[in-house]
Amino acid sequence: MAFERSAKTREQNRLSMWLAALVVGVLILVVLVTCGSLYRRLHSNRERIEELQNEIAKEEQRSEEIEEYKKYTKSREYIEEVAREKLGLVYEGEVIFKEEGSH
Protein backbone atom coordinates (compact mmCIF):
# COMPACT_ATOMS: atom_id res chain seq x y z
CA MET A 1 0.00 0.00 0.00
CA ALA A 2 2.82 2.38 0.80
CA PHE A 3 4.39 1.51 -2.52
CA GLU A 4 1.18 2.34 -4.37
CA ARG A 5 0.95 5.75 -2.77
CA SER A 6 4.50 6.65 -3.65
CA ALA A 7 3.97 5.50 -7.26
CA LYS A 8 0.82 7.63 -7.47
CA THR A 9 2.67 10.52 -5.87
CA ARG A 10 5.46 10.16 -8.44
CA GLU A 11 2.90 10.09 -11.26
CA GLN A 12 1.26 13.22 -9.88
CA ASN A 13 4.65 14.90 -9.53
CA ARG A 14 5.54 14.04 -13.13
CA LEU A 15 2.20 15.31 -14.34
CA SER A 16 2.63 18.50 -12.32
CA MET A 17 6.12 18.99 -13.76
CA TRP A 18 4.84 18.49 -17.32
CA LEU A 19 2.00 20.92 -16.73
CA ALA A 20 4.40 23.48 -15.23
CA ALA A 21 6.76 23.03 -18.19
CA LEU A 22 3.83 23.45 -20.57
CA VAL A 23 2.70 26.64 -18.82
CA VAL A 24 6.25 28.03 -18.88
CA GLY A 25 6.54 27.14 -22.58
CA VAL A 26 3.28 28.89 -23.39
CA LEU A 27 4.39 31.95 -21.42
CA ILE A 28 7.71 32.04 -23.30
CA LEU A 29 5.83 31.77 -26.59
CA VAL A 30 3.50 34.63 -25.61
CA VAL A 31 6.46 36.79 -24.58
CA LEU A 32 8.27 36.10 -27.88
CA VAL A 33 5.20 36.94 -29.95
CA THR A 34 4.63 40.12 -27.96
CA CYS A 35 8.29 41.14 -28.33
CA GLY A 36 8.10 40.62 -32.08
CA SER A 37 4.99 42.74 -32.29
CA LEU A 38 6.57 45.47 -30.17
CA TYR A 39 9.74 45.39 -32.30
CA ARG A 40 7.72 45.91 -35.49
CA ARG A 41 5.80 48.72 -33.82
CA LEU A 42 9.03 50.33 -32.63
CA HIS A 43 10.46 50.15 -36.15
CA SER A 44 7.29 51.67 -37.58
CA ASN A 45 7.35 54.47 -35.00
CA ARG A 46 10.99 55.24 -35.76
CA GLU A 47 10.15 55.56 -39.47
CA ARG A 48 7.22 57.84 -38.62
CA ILE A 49 9.46 60.00 -36.39
CA GLU A 50 11.94 60.36 -39.25
CA GLU A 51 9.16 61.34 -41.67
CA LEU A 52 7.80 63.91 -39.21
CA GLN A 53 11.26 65.37 -38.61
CA ASN A 54 11.66 65.78 -42.38
CA GLU A 55 8.27 67.49 -42.54
CA ILE A 56 9.27 69.79 -39.68
CA ALA A 57 12.46 70.75 -41.51
CA LYS A 58 10.48 71.50 -44.69
CA GLU A 59 7.93 73.58 -42.80
CA GLU A 60 10.69 75.52 -41.03
CA GLN A 61 12.26 76.25 -44.44
CA ARG A 62 8.86 77.32 -45.76
CA SER A 63 8.36 79.53 -42.71
CA GLU A 64 11.70 81.23 -43.38
CA GLU A 65 10.72 81.78 -47.03
CA ILE A 66 7.41 83.30 -45.94
CA GLU A 67 9.20 85.56 -43.48
CA GLU A 68 11.57 86.72 -46.25
CA TYR A 69 8.60 87.35 -48.57
CA LYS A 70 6.87 89.28 -45.78
CA LYS A 71 9.93 91.53 -45.47
CA TYR A 72 10.06 91.91 -49.27
CA THR A 73 6.40 92.95 -49.46
CA LYS A 74 7.15 95.82 -47.08
CA SER A 75 10.02 97.07 -49.25
CA ARG A 76 9.87 99.96 -51.68
CA GLU A 77 10.94 97.67 -54.51
CA TYR A 78 7.85 95.49 -54.06
CA ILE A 79 5.53 98.49 -53.84
CA GLU A 80 6.94 99.88 -57.08
CA GLU A 81 6.65 96.51 -58.80
CA VAL A 82 2.98 96.12 -57.83
CA ALA A 83 2.23 99.71 -58.81
CA ARG A 84 3.75 99.15 -62.25
CA GLU A 85 2.35 95.68 -63.00
CA LYS A 86 -1.12 95.78 -61.47
CA LEU A 87 -1.97 99.45 -61.37
CA GLY A 88 -0.05 100.62 -64.46
CA LEU A 89 1.54 103.52 -62.59
CA VAL A 90 4.83 105.11 -63.68
CA TYR A 91 7.11 107.82 -62.36
CA GLU A 92 6.54 111.33 -63.62
CA GLY A 93 8.36 111.81 -66.91
CA GLU A 94 8.89 108.06 -67.40
CA VAL A 95 8.01 106.62 -70.80
CA ILE A 96 6.81 103.03 -71.23
CA PHE A 97 7.40 101.25 -74.53
CA LYS A 98 5.24 98.24 -75.42
CA GLU A 99 5.79 95.77 -78.21
CA GLU A 100 3.18 95.59 -80.92
CA GLY A 101 0.74 92.80 -80.47
CA SER A 102 1.10 92.72 -76.70
CA HIS A 103 -1.89 94.02 -74.80
Q: Which tens digit of pLDDT belongs to each residue from 26-51?
A: 999 999 999 999 999 999 999 999 99
Integer CA distances (angstroms), 73 to 63, 68, 90, in order: 15, 9, 19
- Say if residue 4's pLDDT is above 70: no
Integer CA distances (angstroms), 71 to 29, 33, 60, 61, 83, in order: 63, 57, 17, 15, 17
Query: Going by C-beta distance under 8 Å and a sequence separation of 6 or more, which residues neighbour residue 83?
Result: 89
What pLDDT, on a 0 to 100 scale, did the predictor assign at position 103?
57
pTM of the model: 0.54
What pLDDT, on a 0 to 100 scale, did the predictor assign at position 67?
97
pLDDT tens string 45-94 = 999 999 999 999 999 999 999 999 999 999 999 998 888 888 888 888 77
What pLDDT, on a 0 to 100 scale, did the predictor assign at position 72?
94
What pLDDT, on a 0 to 100 scale, did the predictor assign at position 99?
82
